[in-house]
Amino acid sequence: MGEIDADGEQADGVEDEEEDYDEGEECDESEEIGDQNDDDDRDENDDEDADDEDEDEMDPQLVDELDSFARSFKDVANRFRLISKIGEGTFSSVYRAEDMEYDAFDNSWDLDRSPEGKRRLSMGDASSPTAKRQRTVGVGPRRKKYVAIKRIYVTSSPQRILNELVLLHTLSRCDSIAPLITAFRSQDQVVAILPYYKHADYRAFYRQLPLMEFKYYMKSLVTALEHVHLHGILHRDVKPTNFLYDPEKRRGVLVDFGLAERESVEPSYCTCRGYGENNHIRHITDRQPIGGYLKNDPRPGRRANRAGTRGFRAPEVLLKCLNQTTKIDMWSAGVILLSFMSKRFPFFNSADDIDAMIEIASIFGKPKISACARLHGSILDTNIPTVPDRGFTLEEIVDWAVSGTDVDETEASTRSLVDEDPEKDLAFDFLTKCLEVDFRKRISAQEALQHQFLAGL
Amino acid sequence: MASMIHQHANDEVSTLAATTLNGMASDAIERVGPSSAVSTNNRFANHLRHPSTTAIINTGIIEQSRACNAVSSTSSASMTISASGNAPSVTLHGLLGVSHQTERARELSREPRERVASLRERERVSARIRDTHQERERVQQQVPTTQNDTSEQRDSDNIRNWQRQWKRVLATSVFYFDGLEDIGKDRTKKQLLNYGAKIETFFHGGVTNVVTNRPIQANYAATDIIYQAKQRNMKIWTHEKFVRFMSHLQENPNASVSNVTNSHTSATLSRGHVVASDTSNNLCRMLREEKLTGPADSDPRARRDDIHYFKGPYIYIRDATQIYRPIMVREYTRVSEPQLGDWPQFRVTGPGKCPFVLDIQYHQNRDVKEVKPRRAGAKLKRTATLEVEPNTSKGAVKSRKLPEDERESHNHIGNFLQVHEDPQEEIDEYIAEDMRQQAASFREPHSRKKSALTPVRMTSARANSGSKTAADLKARKQALSATGRSYHVRMSAALGHELVATGINMSNATSNIRSMSQSGGAANGLARQVSQLQSKEVNSLKRKVFERSRRPLPIPQVAVKKEAVAVKEVRPGYCENCKDKYDDYEEHIKSRKHRKFASNDENFADIDDLLAELIQPKRELQVPYVE
């Protein structure tokens, strides 16, 4: 997403504005609540890259868009002042807006609301009596409050929209998940109002942050996932752009439940259910061609939900398992950690599912991937020479990734952050458990929070 | 498989033919029990005399003749239907004569090349059978029926009697299933056990019945289970027949009779239909299977025209249940060195970059020395990579389109490899450069560690063992942990840096290469045809040189995408509400169809319910927080 430059700029700009009203040190951040990102990159047809749309705030096209959006949606236009577009995805666009009537509403969703608000207010009170008066009535110039407006494209079915809103609403009770403040509809146009979170771009910090610090990232992410999973929900699109992290506050929020779904109570059949028991395929003699494939195969394709972002899909998603569990999110979390530890983002390119499979196999080796394929009722056959017979450990991969290339001088210091961390072993253990190709052995969010790597925080 | 289909089809057809004659005749063939043989034959004979029967024979004559002929002309039919059952079919044969078309079909099935045609023929036959049915239906409606309730009663009694006798027999039977191990969930097996029969996992002398999925032939090898079964007078069933038999055994004769309001003939008719649709289903299924697995009666290792055989490196993930087409298939162009391969693999890339994407920029920047201008060489012939998109309908195999730049980049690689005919020159060049680099990096404290850790460099420095830089390297290497080192060897191997392994005896190899490349006519561009050792080593070096190549190898995806985004004015997509694809979002949402959907609140009733819950409460306290 184009948040790298655009967001940084915006954040700065906002802070400047606020200095006029507030002297408090922390309040700068507390006011600005975040950013929302949708990603072109996700979903079945993910051929767009994440970072290819840097929005220029002055883009006349954007101005038009904001205008037309405001015009078409009076409710929204009256209360919120649209500032900029901060994300665009397959099913929605996200805008940053100022909440003009913030004080008129119950803002229990606002994490930084009361205690700081009080303090700030009293400070403001002392310094500026007019400010006090204005706040009291809740109108007029005052400290700005920002929200993220998610405008769901009208081509989305009501079911899809409802699904996202319901899930957001269900999950609103966790500090690590962006709560739904409210939502509106005007004919086919539905908008969701979410808090705007200040966050840093993942690319901006993943190579600088020490492992000790990144633990907070993981902890926060896994806490969010635990909450999501506890409700039997799969997020399906866990990736840095959907986890808005503020390194200073050590706080992150999971956003975008556009692809989320409930774990089915009665999942469709995949051989991975009851694998090892009597009911899995055992006696079937494979009569399909070997060493080649049928040119015009009349059989139907295996179909499964593959929604998600390339490079973050778990092996079972790639193998079109019909029995996908919340563990798919833990894989994605593992990919983030791998990317952090190897100092490479993205770690997997995965132009498509086949490439993704080969990339995963390049790490874990043929036997492990074969076993994983078998688990999901498939037979893997490959002679790709770079797919090793014996897989690498993730420690080997990370070692290679951080040292296998020339590193500039600033890098040299960051590399040692992982190298010399006393808890490096714990981190690798944790990483290995997240990136377990067999979802049954993969660590759950709940277990992950108990893992020593995170438990100490 | 071909002849098996044939057999099964014929078996079915014979049943069908008999059914058309009369329902009881069908029973005669189908329900031949050990003790009811005579009575069924009698019944059959009686029914043949029935006027309606005669009419049917006359009308459906061609189709039935083919069917019946098939039965009698296949010696195995007598086995499946059993001795007593054979009689009626022979009678039919005698009545109807040989059909020319059946002959042809059989001929075709013998000729493997024509198998597809033969399959089609059979499909056609089964379709005709269905047609014949309709025809018969018509005729039968015209024929006055003389059946009465008492005969129906008698029939159902007969059926019940037949069932009872067979169930008694089954209670003491021992079954062996030949080639049907995978049909474990088969309901018929369960049913069989319910009747008290035993099912043996292994064949032995105590078995009384053998059910096979193979076609029944006249002769078997002495080691064949069917042969042994025949020797021991065991009853041999084809699986099809067995399944049919079991379903008849369960059938409630009263139900089938009493359901019929009109007459016995229509009861027969409905039965006939069932059989007919079974027939076509089975045929379809078998045809499908044959298309997938090839004819079972031919050598499975024989090359088939309908299969694409892999020539290059591939990944192939197929469905173990065989229900779905492969989940992933992709084949890559064969390359002399793995790292030239088109598939994702670990690459040495710049800081922060994805390790699976060739990082041209990085290699360009790293390039210290000028690469000599290269002569244009023969282009590496590059065939398009094939892939099966599991998502595309019909599993169409399509050629993977490579963006122009990528194709070009591969040509660069090709050119590069082809052009460097003199490996020794390259080696020298490379080593010289590397030495320079090693020396340079030694002076910079920061880059010490890194160069030692770079597999490529470590490799080449090793190749220079004995030199001053190699000594440096040795010292640096000690900084590496033991695991790190062994890892690098392994990793390098995985990355195609075989030199780490083979490069240890590089000094020997060098002279080796030199002599070989000279004798191998390297200068005329044929170097690649000399021995394995040379090509392996030399190519490793070439690869390294390639990594340093200054030639721009643009990453096509990025370039293409940037453009696409820039052009993006109208947004095409799919409207889930109108179930329509559109070229322009803005345009579509104004369309009448879409507005109609949008303005109908009913479509959003559920959302509205939720929105009501989501109304943000007004703040109760309109007074300041403080004081």
Q: What is the pLDDT of residue B284?
A: 73
Find the helix or strand (DSSP H, E) in which B402 lies.
none
Q: Across the interface, do A289 and B565 touch by the CB < 8 Å criterion?
A: no
> What does the longest C-alpha to C-alpha distance in chain B come to?
113
In terms of pLDDT, which residue wins out, B6 or A304? A304
Three-state SS letters, A380-397: EEECCCCCCCCCCCHHHH
On whether residue B511 sits in a domain, the answer given is yes
Mean pLDDT of B301-324: 87
On whether residue B316 sits in a domain, the answer given is no
Angle A394-403/B445-453 helices, nearest 10 degrees?
Answer: 140
Question: Do B123 and B264 belong to one domain?
Answer: yes
Question: Do B182 and B281 belong to one domain?
Answer: yes
Tell me the pLDDT tens digit for each residue of A39-56. 334 433 333 333 333 344
Dihedral of the alpha carbons of B243, B248, B250, B251, in degrees to the nearest 10: 140
Sorting pLDDT into bands at 50, 70 and 90, what band is A155?
Answer: very high
Count structural domains, chain B.
Answer: 3
Question: Do B481 and B592 belong to one domain?
Answer: no
Q: Which residue out of A35, A43, A237, A329 is catalytically annotated?
A: A237
Question: Do A121 and A160 belong to one domain?
Answer: yes
**Assigned token pair, B198:** 């035993």
Q: Across the interface, do A357 and B328 touch by the CB < 8 Å criterion?
A: yes
Q: Identify which of A389, A399, A386, A457 has the alpha carbon closest to the alpha carbon of residue A428.
A: A399
CB atoms within 10 A of CB B307: 16
Sorting pLDDT into bands at 50, 70 and 90, what band is A18?
Answer: very low
Residues A299, B187: Cα–Cα separation, whole Å: 25
Q: Name the one residue in this structure whose structure tokens are 């013998």.
A: B110
On whether residue B434 sits in a domain, the answer given is yes
Question: Do B537 and B583 belong to one domain?
Answer: no
Q: Across the interface, do B292 and A287 touch by the CB < 8 Å criterion?
A: yes
Boundary-marking domain end, from A152, A169, A195? A195
Q: Across the interface, do A188 and B491 touch by the CB < 8 Å criterion?
A: no
Question: Do B530 and B582 belong to one domain?
Answer: no
Boundary-marking domain end, from B486, B512, B547? B547
Lowest mean pLDDT among A312-326, B198-212, B251-265: B251-265
Q: What is the pTM of this model?
A: 0.55
Residue A85, classed as helix, strand or coil, is strand
Give yes or no for a contact between A264 and A304, defined as CB atoms under 8 angstroms apart: no
Domain boundaries, position A126 = 3-195
Residues A116, A111: Cα–Cα separation, whole Å: 10
Which residue of B178, B327, B331 to mutate against A (max A Cβ within 10 Å)?
Answer: B327
- Let me know if A432 is exposed, middle or buried by CB neighbors in 10 A (0-12, 13-18, 19+): middle
Boundary-marking domain end, from A195, A229, A263? A195
Residues B459, B502: Cα–Cα separation, whole Å: 10
Q: CB contact, 8 Å: B501 with chain A? A: no
- Type of residue numbered A195: P
Question: Do A49 and A186 belong to one domain?
Answer: yes
* Gap from A95 CA to chain B (nearest CA, Å): 18
| CATH code at position A157 | 3.30.200.20
Lowest mean pLDDT among A72-81, B352-361, B386-395: B386-395
Give yes or no for a contact between B418 and B535, defined as CB atoms under 8 angstroms apart: no
Mean pLDDT of A194-208: 94
Residues B393, A299: Cα–Cα separation, whole Å: 10
**Assigned token pair, A363:** 């790490």
On whether residue B553 sits in a domain, the answer given is no
Instruction: For chain A, positions 71-100, list CB contacts with chain B under 8 A.
Output: none
In terms of pLDDT, which residue wins out, A68 or A314? A314
Domain boundaries, position B419 = 348-375+400-547
Chain A / chain B CB contacts < 8 angstroms:
348
On whether residue B55 sits in a domain, the answer given is yes
Q: Name the one residue in this structure whose structure tokens are 């083979």.
A: B502
Q: What is the pLDDT of residue B42?
A: 41
Q: CB contact, 8 Å: B494 with chain A? A: yes
Q: What is the pLDDT of residue B27?
A: 38
Residues A121, A138: Cα–Cα separation, whole Å: 13
Boundary-marking domain end, from A167, A195, A223? A195
Chain B residues near residue A399 by CB distance under 8 angstroms: 484, 487
- Type of residue numbered A51: D
Residues B517, B510: Cα–Cα separation, whole Å: 10
Instruction: For chain B, positions 167-206, list CB contacts with chain A under 8 A.
Output: 181-182, 184
Q: What is the pLDDT of residue A237?
A: 96
Count structural domains, chain A.
Answer: 2
Residues B408, B499: Cα–Cα separation, whole Å: 28
Question: Do A120 and A241 belong to one domain?
Answer: no
CB atoms within 10 A of CB B432: 12
In terms of pLDDT, which residue wins out, A236 or B278? A236
Buried b or exposed e, range B544-580, using 16+ CB within 10 angstroms: bbbbbbebebbbbbeebeeeeeeeeeeeebebbbbee
Q: What is the pLDDT of residue B455?
A: 34
pLDDT at A225 over 70: yes
Question: Do A268 and A209 belong to one domain?
Answer: yes
- Determine the distance from the C-alpha atom of residue B444 to the mean position of all C-alpha atoms in its chain, rounded to a whole number: 57
Sorting pLDDT into bands at 50, 70 and 90, what band is A307?
Answer: very high
Question: Do B542 and B579 belong to one domain?
Answer: no
In terms of pLDDT, which residue wins out, A146 or B473? A146
Question: Do A310 and A370 belong to one domain?
Answer: yes
pLDDT at B121 over 50: yes
Which residue from A minimizes the CA distance to B593?
A155
Mean pLDDT of B216-225: 78
Buried b or exposed e, range A40-69, using 16+ CB within 10 angstroms: bbbbeebebbbbbbebeeeeeebeebbeeb
Lowest mean pLDDT among A9-18, A297-306, B526-535: A9-18
Residues B566, B559: Cα–Cα separation, whole Å: 11
Tell me the pLDDT tens digit for each residue of A160-171. 999 999 999 999
On whether residue B153 sits in a domain, the answer given is yes
- Let me know if B605 is exposed, middle or buried by CB neighbors in 10 A (0-12, 13-18, 19+): exposed
Q: In what order do the strands lie in the sheet with B235-238?
A: B198-200, B174-178, B209-212, B235-238
Q: What is the DSSP string of B194-245?
A: HTT-EEESS--TT--EEEESSPP-S---TTSHHHHHHHTT-EEEEHHHHHHH
Do you know the residue count of chain A? 457
Q: Identify which of A344, A321, A231 has the alpha carbon closest to the alpha carbon of residue A275.
A: A321
By DSSP bridging, strand B235-238 and strand B209-212 are parallel
B311: CB partners within 8 A, 6+ apart: B331, B334
Q: Identify which of B327, B332, B302 has the alpha carbon closest to the alpha carbon of residue A289.
A: B302
- Determine the distance from the C-alpha atom of residue B462 to the mean position of all C-alpha atoms in its chain, rounded to a whole number: 48
Q: What is the DSSP string of A355-417?
A: HHHHHHHHHH-HHHHHHHHHHTTEEEEE--TTS-SSPPPHHHHHHHHHHSS---HHHHHHHHH
On whether residue B564 sits in a domain, the answer given is no
Boundary-marking domain end, from B275, B293, B311? B293
Give yes or no for a contact between A309 and A41, defined as CB atoms under 8 angstroms apart: yes
Question: Do A176 and A216 belong to one domain?
Answer: no
Give yes or no for a contact between B562 and A52, defined as CB atoms under 8 angstroms apart: yes
The interface predicted TM-score (ipTM) is 0.79
**Assigned token pair, A260:** 């989320």
Q: Identify which of B83, B245, B78 has the alpha carbon closest to the alpha carbon of residue B166.
A: B245
A274: CB partners within 8 A, 6+ apart: A280
pLDDT at B492 over 60: no
- Roughly how many angstroms between the first and final C-alpha of chain B, as a whole number? 92
Residue B511, classed as helix, strand or coil, is helix
pLDDT at B190 over 80: no
Question: Do A142 and A224 belong to one domain?
Answer: no
pLDDT at B59 over 70: no
Q: What is the pLDDT of residue B178?
A: 81
| CATH code at position A276 | 1.10.510.10
Confirm whether A237 is a catalytic residue. Answer: yes
Residues B195, A172: Cα–Cα separation, whole Å: 60
Question: Do B285 and B184 belong to one domain?
Answer: yes
pLDDT at B247 over 70: yes
Q: Name the one residue in this structure whose structure tokens are 């100490």.
A: A456
Question: Do A116 and A226 belong to one domain?
Answer: no
Angle B2-21/B115-142 helices, nearest 10 degrees?
Answer: 10
Q: What is the pLDDT of residue A133?
A: 44
Which residue from B minimizes the CA distance to A204?
B352
Residues A207, A201: Cα–Cα separation, whole Å: 11
Find the helix or strand (DSSP H, E) in which B297 lies.
none
Q: What is the pLDDT of residue B149?
A: 57
In terms of pLDDT, which residue wins out, A76 or A394? A394
A294: CB partners within 8 A, 6+ apart: A288, B292, B306, B307, B308, B325, B395
Instruction: For chain B, positions 370-429, list CB contacts with chain A under 8 A.
Output: 387-388, 390-391, 394-397
In terms of pLDDT, which residue wins out, B582 or B558? B582
Question: Do B479 and B577 belong to one domain?
Answer: no
Tell me the pLDDT tens digit for each residue of A329-379. 999 999 999 999 999 999 999 999 999 999 999 999 999 999 999 999 999
Sorting pLDDT into bands at 50, 70 and 90, what band is B457?
Answer: very low
Q: What is the pLDDT of residue A339?
A: 97
Chain B residues near residue A135 by CB distance under 8 angstroms: 624
Mean pLDDT of B291-298: 59
Question: Do B237 and B132 belong to one domain?
Answer: yes
Q: What is the pLDDT of residue A160?
A: 93
Q: Name the one residue in this structure whose structure tokens are 């295996």.
A: A302
Q: Across the interface, do A362 and B326 touch by the CB < 8 Å criterion?
A: no
Chain A residues near residue B316 by CB distance under 8 angstroms: 293, 380-382
Q: What is the pLDDT of residue A236?
A: 97
Tell me what the pLDDT averaged over chain B comes to.
57
pLDDT at B24 over 70: no
Q: What is the pLDDT of residue A427?
A: 95
Q: What is the pLDDT of residue B561?
A: 41
Question: Do A236 and A347 belong to one domain?
Answer: yes
Q: What is the DSSP string of A149-191?
A: EEEE-TTS-HHHHHHHHHHHHHTTT-TTB----EEEEETTEEE
Tell me the pLDDT tens digit for each residue of B466-484. 333 444 434 333 333 333 3
Q: Identify which of B356, B570, B566 has the alpha carbon closest to the alpha carbon of residue A52.
A: B566
Question: Do B110 and B235 belong to one domain?
Answer: yes
Q: Across the interface, do B328 and A405 touch by the CB < 8 Å criterion?
A: no
Sorting pLDDT into bands at 50, 70 and 90, what band is B75?
Answer: very low
Chain B residues near residue A294 by CB distance under 8 angstroms: 292, 306-308, 325, 395
Tell me the pLDDT tens digit for each residue of B379-410. 333 333 333 333 333 333 333 333 334 333 43
- Let me know if B103 is exposed, middle or buried by CB neighbors in 10 A (0-12, 13-18, 19+): middle
Q: CB contact, 8 Å: B334 with chain A? A: no
B538: CB partners within 8 A, 6+ apart: B423, B426, B427, B513, B517, B527
Question: Do A367 and A430 belong to one domain?
Answer: yes
Buried b or exposed e, range A286-306, using 16+ CB within 10 angstroms: eebbbebbbeebebebbebbb
Q: Name the one residue in this structure whose structure tokens are 């409630």.
A: B252
Q: Across the interface, do A350 and B344 touch by the CB < 8 Å criterion?
A: yes
Question: Do A258 and A346 belong to one domain?
Answer: yes
Q: CB contact, 8 Å: A115 with chain B? A: no
Residues A346, B549: Cα–Cα separation, whole Å: 25
Residues B357, A264: Cα–Cα separation, whole Å: 36
Residues B399, B396: Cα–Cα separation, whole Å: 10
Tell me what the pLDDT averaged over chain A comes to.
78
Q: Across the interface, do A157 and B577 touch by the CB < 8 Å criterion?
A: yes
Closest in B182, B325, B614 to A180, CB measured: B614
**In this structure, is the dihedral angle defined by the CA atoms of residues A328, A329, A333 and A336, taken in order, positive or negative?**
positive
Question: Do A387 and A365 belong to one domain?
Answer: yes
Q: CB contact, 8 Å: A422 with chain B? A: no
On whether residue B246 sits in a domain, the answer given is yes
Question: Do B116 and B50 belong to one domain?
Answer: yes
Question: Do B190 and B269 belong to one domain?
Answer: yes
A39: CB partners within 8 A, 6+ apart: A1, A50, A87, A89, A237, A239, A241, A242, A256, A309
